[in-house]
Structure 1
């Protein structure tokens, strides 16, 4: 406990901005969760249990813990001791990274499927993921070893847990850089076959729901995630203060979960809604060796 901590106006403004972003991100997440719950129950919950289904459910509902519950308590709850303050943030950050990793696994399998699931692309994506994702855990571990926490016992409405010091900033910067590099790589990998398909397909195929689900949405989703990682890097480099790395981190957390969930649900929805058309997407995100899509009669 530290009573000599001085809450400057700039620090108070940064903490408040972080709280607003967290609250807004949690609201977006809950809204999307309720919006797609019926579709999820119909298309996923009743299906057979597979590894990919388990990964989907974990990455889909994990933000309910590390964002909506833990971060709300950490930022808005009346925490009474330093140990609780530290445990909440550390636990939430590890849950955050695990959730992002599971989302990336699902998105990577989708990219693998589009490329035909060949051994060459398997090995290439595995090595790429190894280089980019493993260091994330090492960087986060170093961050928690170097970053300092303090508890301010003087009652200030809305302010109870404080991060102090700048020692861990470079580690979080490395996390966002690696995430941006990985998502940019996947963006390129999904954009190449999408461009080829667009150039070689007939106009009606380009306008089909199938093309939009498999190619166009894939490019847009990777573009969003890569852009958010780049935005986090820009914020850390240009915004002063301990809370810069956390300012829009909550937004990226929920966007990863939402977009990944929509990838799965949109493909399954397309398979159920329209006339059956079989395309070869081995080991695709739909968890089958072959996806059945239905062409809309509308």
Structure 2
């Protein structure tokens, strides 16, 4: 028979575990709440700038990465964390579906941001090849790592009848590799945004568009890089119960920031009376669209046009 001290120890461990799960739930709710609040703030812009536009690949991509969080970060999140009737088998299914959708959503958001980098490099075929390889390696590796991690999660029956959510007993720390991959990829994209940004500011020209494309782009990637770094630290240093504490927050921020990138660029185009095919890969600098990598002579000609327009 267990001694009184053993029973008290088990109760203390269970209490600590439940408190830890509550904290994870709070962060999930925070992520979902921020996403819903930002969605309401930007819904008017979306209706005016996206809904009425013609259907393109970019529009489909925008809607996919914009609305997937309603499934993985809102519906499945609350089901996974707040249900009092969910069983271990259902927990496993929900967790796998949520994990796959989150990685898919983050990948779609990264694709939008990557296409913007391709645009500021003048839609260069070489840069397109480099970005395609980097994106494929990052996404495929993330799906492999996520598959191993999601398979490693073990659930048990809830310890008492009113316990909310899924009772996780173990999980692999391999998930930190996802955040390392994302951190490295975002660092590379950040550098690729800074290089043409510096050149653009030196030449001068449309400072408003430069602010929307370059400055805001750099800020977005600094935010995402910082959050990925924090996720790596959390995954390595804290107990397994905290492994996914920032998943929903980063997932929602990816969608929110990416959506704002496209909306802000389209808002600028609307104010400047410029119509772009997709609003992100065809950017109007000065008097012509960036279709191919501009030569030095072309850049100097743009500079003269910008100065004359000013």
Match of 1:273 among 256, 271, 276: 271
Cα distance per residue 1:177-228 (max 9 Å; x no partner): 10111111101100111122223326xx4xx321210110000001111111
Q: Are the aligned partners of 2:56 and 2:278 in contact in 1 as well (CA < 8 Å)?
A: no
TM-score, structure 2 as length reference:
0.84
Distance 1:252 1:218 in 2: 17
In 1, the alpha carbon distance for the partners of 2:27 and 2:277 equals 34
How far did residue 288 of structure 1 move?
Answer: 6.4
Which contiguous aligned blocks of 4+ residues in structure 1 show a shift greater than 4 angstroms?
287-290, 292-295
1:167-246 pair list within 5 angstroms: 168-170=172-174, 172-201=175-204, 205=206, 208-239=207-238, 241-246=239-244
| Alignment check: 8 A CA contact 2:115 2:280 kept | no
Q: Which residue of 2 aligns with 1:286?
A: 279
Alpha-carbon RMSD: 2.4
* Distance (whole Å) between structure 1 residues aligned to residue 153 and residue 87 of structure 2: 17
- Considering fraction of residues, name the structure with more strand: 1
Q: Distance in 2 between matches of 1:259 and 1:45?
A: 18
Q: Which residue is equivalent to 1:21?
A: 27
8 A contact 1:109–1:285 mirrored in 2:
no
Aligned residue runs from structure 1 range 36-75, under 5 A: 36-75=42-81
Residue of structure 1 equivalent to 2:247: 249
C-alpha deviation, 1:21, in angstroms: 0.5
Distance in 1, matches of 2:190 and 2:14, equals 42
CA drift of 1:275 comes to 5.2
Partner of 1:161: 166
Distance 2:286 2:278 in 1: 13
User: Alignment partner of 2:267: what SS?
Assistant: helix
In 2, are the aligned partners of 1:151 and 1:160 still within 8 Å (CA)? no
User: Does the residue aligned with 1:79 lie in a helix, a strand or coil?
Assistant: coil
Cα displacement (A) at 1:246: 0.7
Residues in 2 aligned to 1:275 and 1:46: alpha-carbon distance in whole angstroms = 16
C-alpha deviation, 1:287, in angstroms: 5.6
Check conservation: 2:95, 2:150, Cα contact below 8 A.
no
Aligned mates of 1:21, 1:112 — CA distance in 2: 34
Task: Report which of the two structures shows the higher radius of gyration computed on alpha carbons.
Answer: 2
What SS does the corresponding residue of 1:286 show, helix, strand or coil?
Answer: coil
Inter-CA distance 214–80: structure 2 relative to 1 (3 Å threshold) = closer
Structure 2 residue aligned with 1:263, among 253, 261, 281?
261
1:146-180 CA deviation, whole Å, 9 max, x = no partner? 221222151245x33122124x212x011111011
Give the Å deviation of 1:245: 1.8
Deviation at 1:145, TM superposition (A): 2.1
| Gap runs ≥5 in structure 1 | none
In structure 1, distance between residues paired with 2:137 and 2:39:
32
Q: For structure 2, list consecutive stretches of 5 or more residues without a partner in the other structure.
A: 1-9, 288-305
Equivalent of residue 118 in structure 2, options 93, 105, 112:
112
Tell me the number of residue pairs that the alignment of Structure 1 and Structure 2 aligns.
279
Secondary structure, aligned partner of 1:160: coil
Distance 1:198 1:289, change over 3 A: closer
Q: Distance in 1 between matches of 2:272 and 2:142?
A: 41
> Per the alignment, do residues 107 and 290 of structure 1 end up closer, same or farther by CA in structure 2, a change over 3 Å counting?
closer
